Amino acid sequence: MNFIETRGNDGHFPPQFTFSQAILSPMSSYGGLYSPESLPSLDQAFLQAHLDSDYKTLAKAVLMKFEVDIPEEVIDRALALYDQFDDPKHPVPVVKVTDRIFVSELFHGPTRAFKDMALQPFGTLLSAVAQARQEQFLILAATSGDTGPAALDTFRDKPNVQVVCMYPEGGTSDVQRLQMVTEAGKNLKVIGIKGDFDDAQSALKTLLTSDEFKATLQQKGISVSAANSVNFGRIIFQTLYHIHSYLELVRMGEISLGEPVYLNVPSGNFGNALGGYYAYKMGLPVAKILIASNDNNVLTQFINQGVYDLRGAQVQPTKSPAMDILKSSNIERILFDMLGAKRTRELMLALDKDKFYQLTPAELAKVQAIFAADYCTDEEGAHYIKQHFEQGYLMDPHTATSFKVDATQVDNPAIKSIIYSTAEWTKFSPTIVASVFGEDVANDEAALQKMAATGQACIPKQIAALFTKPAVQDKVIDKNDIEAEILRFFEV
């Protein structure tokens, strides 16, 4: 399978990349991304054939459909990492919450967030490709809270890779920050920045496309790649759990094979939703993809009005911080798939220059044919957390946003909904305590103990251990000093 550029080719890049080339060099002409030239078909016969497949078997079958240029032995080794999740036989449980709502729990990996689903195998793939090419790579990661811990975990002590992770100081939960600053791997560097996630992501994209930065690293024999969802190596693994979750509903007897479902996704950078979109395009029976936002509701405006407007906008800190994002990178791949490279380039360059673009009515109709959206305030999210806790289900604040969207955007209540739970409650325990008990707790550790004392919540060992580990990566810098700080990482 070949990958082509979302903004067209400027003559400085090959017109096509293989999968391995695209994951090593994720940015393309005019600051664009790589997307598949075509998508494989996952027809009903494929779904029927994998109705009884476990997660790893299904995952490998889908990857083979993509014809990725990765040795089969490496793929097997990468997918074997799912055996380290809570239940090796069921790394992604699908839980029935109401008669028509099911939660696909994507947080049962080592860092307790959905980013493990993609980054655990991705780290093995990228390191293996780098070793095969006998090259050294710097992997950049910008995080709003979950990508960072997952990237650091998967790349820890991997050969031929070094990782720099940037996070917004004060823009993550205590647990998310501890997961990063306590990482002691010699090939890992963590940088807090005085800014928000959009600042970190902007720095990442700038460095990935900076000829001067890349030339400086090339003098040291190092190339640059990324662990964010600008890298299609992330996205390909994020299509898998949408297919798995659908088949789980069939196995549970809740739907018949071929019956459509809603995919309901809490969205920040749109990678999770893009995975669902590609699954739909490949043949998964999807009625609509519902997009949940918090008060940073640019995606709601985009899907409902066809306007992407960042003029005067600032990130609003919320209780669902991993979604505190204004510039969602993977919208670009949706535009490319629906509108083509020329129009995508026009729109994205307008956003870069003017912080604004608007779709035509015909273009908006294409978006709304598959997407619907709404946003959820912190107060509304607290309501859903408490309501479902009292009914026996404990969720994090990001998952709660999708319950609001299910209530407002489902136009056919006879169709079942799959809500994607992107993080375990333990990563946001003060918000959970405030929502459930109406109490303000001083810190994450006290809030975790409060929830554990109820007898209805378990603290996994990965989270409990964080509070006794020393912080060894506590550097915080101005966002304008990122490049210089990264280069100091290599002055050994």
Residue 219 in any domain: the answer is no
Residue entry with tokens 């995952």:
59
Residue 180 is encoded by which pair of tokens? 């990063």
Question: Which amino acid is residue 102, in one-letter code?
Answer: F
Residue 301 pLDDT: 98
Q: Are 275 and 36 in contact (CB under 8 A)?
A: no
Residue 478 in any domain: the answer is no
List the CATH number of the domain containing 443.
3.40.50.1100
Residue 183 in any domain: the answer is no
* Parallel, antiparallel or unpaired: strands 222-226 and 101-105: unpaired
Residue entry with tokens 């006879």:
414
**Residue 385: which domain range?**
78-113+234-468
Residue entry with tokens 């710097």:
138
CA distance 196 to 192: 10
User: For residue 297, which phi and psi values (nearest 5 degrees)?
Assistant: -100, 40
CA distance 3 to 23: 10
Residue 375 pLDDT: 98
Residue 455 pLDDT: 66
Residue 410 in any domain: the answer is yes
CA distance 400 to 377: 10
Mean pLDDT by 10 residues, the chain (492 residues): 95 94 94 96 96 97 96 97 96 98 98 96 96 95 92 95 94 94 95 93 91 93 92 96 98 98 95 98 98 97 98 95 93 98 98 97 98 98 97 97 98 97 97 96 93 88 95 93 92 65
CA angle 410, 235, 18 (to 5 degrees): 140
Domain count, the chain: 1
Exposure of 225 in the CB half-sphere (CA atoms within 13 A): 30
CA distance 5 to 174: 38
CA distance 356 to 14: 30
Residue 53 in any domain: the answer is no
**Mean of pLDDT over the chain:** 95
pLDDT digits (tens, 9 = 90+) for 334-380: 999 999 999 999 999 999 999 999 999 999 999 999 999 999 999 99
CA distance 418 to 101: 6
Residue 229 in any domain: the answer is no
What secondary structure, in 3-state letters, does 33-100 show? EEEECCCCCCCHHHHHHCCCCCHHHHHHHHHHHHCCCCCHHHHHHHHHHHHHCCCCCCCCCEEECCCC
CA distance 193 to 351: 24
